[in-house]
Structure 1
Amino acid sequence: MNDWHSWAAVVVFAATYVLIISEKIHRVAAALGGAALMLAVGATDDRSAFFSEHSGVDWNVIFLLLGMMIIVGVLRKTGVFEYLAIWSVKRARGRPFRVMAMLVVITGLASALLDNVTTVLLVAPVTLLVCERLRLPAAPFLIAEVLASNIGGMATLVGDPPNIIIASRGELSFNAFLVHLAPLSALLIAVLVLMCRFMFAKYFVYDEARAAEVMALEEREAIRDHRLLAQGLFVLVAVVVGFVLHPVLHYAPSVVALLGAGLLIAVSSVETSDALSEVEWPTLAFFGGLFIMIGGLIETGVISEISSTLADVIGDNELGGSMLLLAASGVLSGVVDNIPYVATMAPITADLVESLGGGGNHVMWWALAIGADLGGNATAIGASANVVVLGIAERNGQPITFWQFTKYGLLVTAVTLAVSAGYVWLRYF
């Protein structure tokens, strides 16, 4: 970091992070302002910011979000989320903790098949309606779900974007992720449910009258447009199949989501303007600013220097190196988005694996994946799903502050990383 651009990039990123944490100004304004300063000080430029696959805006994430927001927005008009809310409350007999446990498990399982961002886009509207019916604060439920989405997404190759990068660099199969990470993911979901029982205990206020009202409702009556529902579900299922068949079809998730959104608008009676009005535009703008800021750190060599230093410290100590990589990935992925972190760390991990004489299923790859996926839970901007849920909550009048999320996220991250360290030690050493 001898070049002044590197120090300028660090100062801009740190100052922007402080503004986001302090919430003195809106996080979107902070991110866009930080991105503008990165460009102004020369830490990055227009070609790197807008066209570089390595250090620019990740358009795959942006357009995946855009496509899925449109699909979810159209489905919301059918009443299907009200149906699911009433159904889930009735199955849980109106008991708040049972509702949360059910939603956490469903989110974790769905995140293993879909990516975690898509999952929270689908589950969040149901959660808001459930909480409205039971007169419960939505924030604890939404926070628990986003934590579950990042844990569940760890289980498969397609569950979390960093896994796709790791699989490509390490030549790892879909089944390899299932064998090595799915058991840990299932264990950590159970740990999360147990932690939720204590972390959010004061919010589990059972309102017998409200529960009785919901139990008396007929969920089928919530459906307002059966034709649109059939069209929306058909497109959603087709999109999910497209996600799962990514290794065969070779269509990026963003392409699948955009094709689905375009098809749904074309075949349904929903006006294009109405569909676009459901998009969380501030969230997309926040991602754009965040990607440009992190790109500035990449372009100036800050992230690669951190990663290289980590590699030097590890040396040829396989056990110590695995634990250090797990912990460091957890910490760094809570500060910078885990996608660019993994993109930078993957080639360094490949060199480590080669120097240690390991094959494709080497423990280093799993330590990187576990740390990056779980570390995303540490702060409100550590993973894409976190940012999306904060945007949804704000738009629905249930804002979640940076610290409100982070105080739970840090605790869950610390516990899950500790459990994961034990898992890595027992399984591989």
Structure 2
Amino acid sequence: MTEFSQGPALWQAIAALIIFVAAYICILIEKWDRMYTALGGAILMLLLGIVPIGKALTTYANWHVLLFLVSLFVIAGLFQKTGLIAFAASKIIRVFRLQPFTILIGLSVLAAVSSALLNALLAIAVIVPILLKTTKMMKLSPVPFLISVLLSANLGGAATLMGNWSNRLIGAAEHITTGEMLIKIGPLVVLMLAIVYLAIWFLYGRKMIIPETYKREVLSLQPETYLTEDRVQFIGGNAIAGATLLAFLLQGILGWQASYIAAGGAVALIALNYQDLIQLFKKRDYRSFWSGVLETQGLFFLGLFIMVGGLTYAGISGFIAVRGLELSQGSMSFLSMLLLWLTGFGSSVVDYVPYTAAMIPVIEHIGTEMQSFSQTSIQPLWWSIIIGTAIGSGVTLFGSISSMYAAALAEQEGGGLNPRNYFMIAGPISLVLFIVATIYFKLFLL
């Protein structure tokens, strides 16, 4: 393993794998708070010298992503005070006349399209709070809605270069274009979305029933009653949220970091609600303040990033990927299929961004080696990475930042979406998607 490792000894690489697996299992069984589990695993890796503390805090602890996530949590929490999310949820219920599965499909398709045009995380940040409020009003479990929306966001993001970070990394290396992606991957994405919705209907469709008496009660409520009567809060909150969303949409033109845009919106909303903050400190209610800090999940993500970084630094991901690729013995067809499934497995366990970043130079090296004895195009390998990460990132809640963010939002609302019950549904669906993608690959992409 040392030829793939950047520094640690063999025992440290093995220790990194054991620590990560142990932490992963602890998070799954939910015996302890996942924040303490992630931080504990990260600290243990640092103490054992598996990853240098300097590298952990500068390279693997992605501060831009952390700032972005924490800011989104603050925005989501404070924006709810305007009542606009509850208003939107009530409107959706009335428009679709309390047809839960129709609402599920509508929100899921919106998530897929938004992910393709913007990015999955931004789509989730906008849609999930409305989803949670809508299901709460209908007295239905948000779990099937969340699973459908998360799978849709991950799959929809695969259709364009801007849809997810994996595509952006590959596009930045000038390996494929947006036009090629839409032509080659677009039909597969539509097919997989249809399979997801069919599976959700088969599993939950007949259970999404609302009693007639409750239907009348919900439909009798006027959406306007959910809006706050505080005009300063309503106008100010909506103006700040609108300006933040507009800045996200114009990010390419403005050239601003997404994390700074989100942080600006969060600070503005905190300033709008400064009286609540003053009251908190006047009462010396530091427990509530600390509880609010924990709810942002920033420390959980920090610990998780460092643990994933420890695996990368120890060479685990590179070792598994390269050894797996060696099994192909030069066959592009076998190599593409193997990489598709290997990528799916890798991105289901850890966030797909570091995995993709590690695999790009490996594939480039394979291309150089193959061109020395044949003129075979390596483009199918890029399709393997894109499709593999799109499906694999939906297998577990740890496959993408957007999934982890949605799970944290659901936890705040008591939504009941935990890693175990998510995997029990998303895992089998994703397996079917991998089989379909493999057949599509064989027929159209090789």
Q: Please report the TM-score for the alignment, with normalisation by the length of structure 2.
A: 0.86
Q: Partner of 2:106 in structure 1? A: 102
Residues 1:45 and 2:52 are matched in the alignment: yes
- Note the aligned Cα RMSD (angstroms): 2.7
Which residue pairs with 1:405 in the alignment? 422
Correspondence for 2:306? 292
Q: Contact 1:70–1:278 (CA<8 Å) still a contact in 2?
A: no
Which stretch shows the higher mean deviation, 408-417 or 225-234?
225-234
Contact 2:27 2:37 in 1 (8 A): yes
Could you tell me which residue of structure 2 aligns to residue 340 of structure 1? 354
**What fraction of aligned residue pairs are identical, expressed as a percent?**
29
Distance 2:186 2:237 in 1: 30
When residues 395 and 140 of structure 1 are mapped into structure 2, their CA distance, relative to the original with a 3 A threshold, is: same
With over 3 angstroms needed to count, the CA separation of the structure-2 counterparts of 1:296 and 1:159, relative to structure 1, is same
Post-superposition shift, 1:282? 5.3
Find out whether 1:129 has 2:133 as its counterpart. Answer: yes
**Given residue 258 of structure 1, which amino acid in structure 2 is its aligned partner?**
A
3-state SS of 1:93 partner:
coil
CA contact (8 A) 1:108 1:153 kept: yes
Note the alpha carbon deviations across 1:209-258, whole angstroms, 9 max, x for none: 22222223332332225664555455445444544555554433223322
Alignment correspondent of 2:7: none
Q: Give the structure 1 partner of residue 30 of structure 2.
A: 23
- Structure 2 residue 180 is the aligned partner of structure 1 residue 209: no
Distance change >3 Å, CA 354–CA 238, structure 1 → 2: farther
Specify whether residues 165 and 337 from structure 1 end up closer, same or farther in structure 2 by C-alpha distance, changes over 3 A only: same
Residues 2-401 of structure 1: matches in 2 within 5 Å?
A: 3-52=10-59, 56-201=60-205, 203-224=207-228, 228-265=233-270, 268=272, 273=277, 281=295, 283-357=297-371, 362-401=379-418
1:282–1:230 Cα change, 3 Å = closer
Could you tell me which amino acid in structure 2 is paired with residue 405 of structure 1?
Y
SS of the equivalent of 2:440 reads helix
Residues 343 and 319 (structure 1), Cα distance of their counterparts in 2 relative to 1, 3 Å cut: same
SS of residue matched to 1:154: helix
Find the counterpart in structure 1 of residue 286 from structure 2: none
Q: Structure 1 residues 367 and 210 mapped into 2: Cα distance closer, same or farther (>3 Å)?
A: same
Which consecutive unaligned segments of at least 5 residues does structure 1 have? none
**Offset, 1:74:** 3.0
- d(CA) in 1 for partners of 2:273 and 2:235? 13
Compared with structure 1, are the counterparts of its residues 50 and 272 closer, same or farther at alpha carbon in structure 2 (3 Å cutoff)? farther
CA pair 251-206 structure 1, distance change in 2 beyond 3 A: same
1:272-312 CA-partner distances (Å, limit 9, x unpaired): 84999867645222111111111111111111111221332
Tell me, yes or no, if the aligned pair for 2:410 and 2:417 is still in contact at 8 Å. Answer: yes
Shift in CA distance, 148/222, structure 1 to aligned 2, threshold 3 Å: same
Unaligned 5+ runs, structure 2: 3-9, 281-288
Sort the Cα spacing of 1:360 and 1:159 in 2 relative to 1 into closer, same or farther, 3 A: farther
Deviates more, 1:191-200 or 1:149-158: 149-158
- Contact 2:73 2:296 survives alignment (8 Å): no
CA distance in 2, matches of 1:20, 1:371: 24
Deviates more, 1:196-205 or 1:75-84: 196-205
Structure 1 residues 244, 324: CA separation in 2 closer, same or farther (over 3 Å shift)?
farther
The structural deviation recorded for 1:376 is 1.0
CA contact (8 A) 2:115 2:154 kept: yes
Look up the equivalent residue of 2:144 and give its one-letter code.
P
Which stretch of the first structure deviates more once superposed, 62-71 or 290-299?
62-71
Distance apart, 1:389 and its partner CA: 2.1
Contact 1:377 1:412 in 2 (8 A): no
Structure 1 CA distance for aligned equivalents of residues 395 and 35 of structure 2: 20
Aligned AA (1:252): Q
> Offset at 1:414?
0.9
Sort the Cα spacing of 1:132 and 1:288 in 2 relative to 1 into closer, same or farther, 3 A. same
AA at the equivalent of 1:367: S
| Preserved CA contact (<8 Å) 2:325 2:338 | no
The 1:298–1:183 alpha-carbon spacing in structure 2 relative to 1, beyond 3 Å, is same
Native 8 Å contact 1:280 1:391 kept in 2: no
Q: How many residues align?
A: 425
- The whole-number CA distance in structure 2 between the counterparts of 1:150 and 1:289 is 23
Indicate conservation of the 8 Å contact 2:41/2:307, yes or no. Answer: yes
Q: Which one-letter code corresponds to 2:340 in the other structure?
A: L
> How much has 1:133 moved relative to structure 2?
1.6
Q: Is the 8 A contact 1:157 1:174 kept in 2?
A: yes
Q: How many angstroms does 1:103 deviate by?
A: 1.8
SS of residue in 1 equivalent to 2:327: helix
Say if 1:265 and 1:395 are closer, same or farther in 2 by CA, change over 3 A.
closer
C-alpha distance in 2 between matches for 1:193 and 1:129: 21
What is the CA–CA distance in structure 2 between the aligned matches of 1:189 and 1:245, rounded to whole Å? Answer: 28
Tell me how far apart the structure 2 counterparts of residues 256 and 198 of structure 1 sit (CA, whole Å). 41
